[in-house]
Structure 1
Amino acid sequence: MNSGLPVPSTAPPAPDVAADLPWFVAHTRPRREKKLQQYCQRDGIAVTLPCYRTIHKYRGKTVEFRKPLFPGYVFLRLSPDQKQKVFQSDHVANLLVVNDQARFIRQLGEIIEALDTDLEIFLAPQIGQGCRVKIKSGALRGMEGWVEQRYGPATVLLRLDFIGQAAAVKLQADELELC
């Protein structure tokens, strides 16, 4: 079980140095966001990885996880020398330039502020009534169906057609992907 300590979302090397550096968006290799964050923290590179809290129950035990809000992306403040170093980490697939630095800083600040409230926040795919979806996890993994109804941001009523019969199941939206 998690100790309850929050996963740090930022680790600037020094406030006066990092404040003058431009922001970049690192597109990471698959499932390497936290490894890149640790690498940057170890090397004194300013890094921001917005994470949200998710709770799962396994065999009666409640387990808390911290997952990246933007899978595959980490936000960095880099000098030209640090850019090269980050690429050499083998965690980065591409670095994207942030064109409007002021707007980016404002939006990232709002996201971090919302995450600090510890409300349940997650990216929800645009899954609406009538959309064809595929189940990503669980006993019905791989099955396809149609969204009948949404119950709030997280729960979806799904119609599955199999063996000539239709069944409706309630699933979490994060267990689905658009076909």
Structure 2
Amino acid sequence: MRPSNHPAPHDPSPDPAQPACDTAGFPWYVAYTKPRQEEFALGHLLQQDFNAYLPRYKKLKKPAKNAICQEMQVVHEPMFPRYIFLQRTRPEQAISKAQHTRGIVTLVRFGVELAIMPAELIAAIQEYEQHRNQAGFEEISPLKPGTRVKLNHNTPLQGLEGLVQTASAKRVIVLLEILGRPKTIKLEPNQLDIT
């Protein structure tokens, strides 16, 4: 299996987030990973033939201050940082082996009992992830019309506040009040902070 929830384009292999075999009777467990090692742990669980799922959240991220490209970037970050879900793929597979997988700190427990995620909840998370991945810029952008923003250090008008009128990946039109008069200006997303 590929160590990713998302197959590469033109890749006929199944999505590892979906069970490759009939695992419906096996419970889902929750593992707690080392910081920023969710992908690493996912790969090692898949290599051990566990059914593993790392939900990712599609979001827009402002470019770094010194980035050449000033467009908002689409990123997929863990929906639940440091948590990953796993399940056995065969009855004789010991879930305790996952405890010692590289990148994993521990399996989540309530007292001495391992925490179990209902299959219906896993399915709901997968459905939400799929819906979010198909969402367009307007749906996931934090810069929606009416959002109050502050111009940051990337513009000579630093510190002024205004309201977003329209937004795209490259440009945001903001309504400001300058010298007592309303004025719209075009800015890049990295020039704004949400207040």
| TM-score bracket, shorter-length normalisation | 0.5 to 0.7
Change (3 A) 1:24 1:80: farther
Q: Is the 8 A contact 2:16 2:51 kept in 1?
A: no
Q: Which residue does 1:46 correspond to in 2?
A: 51
Which of structure 1's runs of 4+ aligned residues deviate more than 6 A?
none
Deviation at 1:81, TM superposition (A): 4.0
Name the aligned partner's letter for residue 87 of structure 2. R
Q: Which residue does 1:77 correspond to in 2?
A: 87
Q: Is the 8 A contact 1:45 1:82 kept in 2?
A: no
Aligned residue runs from structure 1 range 93-104, under 5 A: 93-96=105-108, 97-99=114-116, 104=118
Change (3 A) 1:28 1:107: same
- TM-score, normalised via structure 1 length: 0.54
Q: Which residue does 2:193 correspond to in 1?
A: 170
Q: Is the 8 A contact 1:26 1:75 kept in 2?
A: yes
Name the aligned partner's letter for residue 58 of structure 2. R
- TM-score, normalised via structure 2 length: 0.50
Q: Which residue does 1:10 correspond to in 2?
A: 17
Q: Give me the whole-angstrom Cα distance separating, in 2, the residues matched to 1:15 and 1:47.
A: 13
Q: Give me the whole-angstrom Cα distance separating, in 2, the residues matched to 1:81 and 1:39.
A: 15
Deviation at 1:9, TM superposition (A): 6.2
Q: Which residue does 1:65 correspond to in 2?
A: 75
Give the alignment partner of residue 91 of structure 1, picking from 61, 83, 103: 103
Aligned residue runs from structure 1 range 69-148, under 5 A: 69-78=79-88, 81-96=93-108, 97-99=114-116, 104-117=118-131, 118=133, 119=135
What runs of 5+ residues in structure 2 fail to find an aligned partner? 8-14, 109-113, 141-151, 154-163, 165-191
Q: Is the 8 A contact 1:11 1:41 kept in 2?
A: no
Residue 89 of structure 1 aligns to a residue in which SS? coil
Residue 15 of structure 1 aligns to a residue in which SS? coil
Change (3 A) 1:171 1:73: same
Residue 123 of structure 2 aligns to a residue in which SS? helix
What runs of 5+ residues in structure 1 fail to find an aligned partner? 122-137, 140-150, 152-168, 173-179
- Structure showing greater radius of gyration is 2
Identity over the aligned pairs, expressed in percent?
23
Q: Deviations over 1:69-108 (max 9, x none)?
A: 0001001113674423222223211212235x5xx22122
Q: Deviations over 1:15-45 (max 9, x none)?
A: 22x2222211001111111111111222221
Residue 113 of structure 1 aligns to a residue in which SS? helix
- Give the strand-richer structure, 1 or 2: 1
Deviation at 1:61, TM superposition (A): 5.4
Q: Give me the whole-angstrom Cα distance separating, in 1, the residues matched to 2:47 and 2:84.
A: 15
Structure 2 residue 71 is the aligned partner of structure 1 residue 34: no
Change (3 A) 1:42 1:75: same
Q: Is the 8 A contact 1:31 1:71 kept in 2?
A: yes
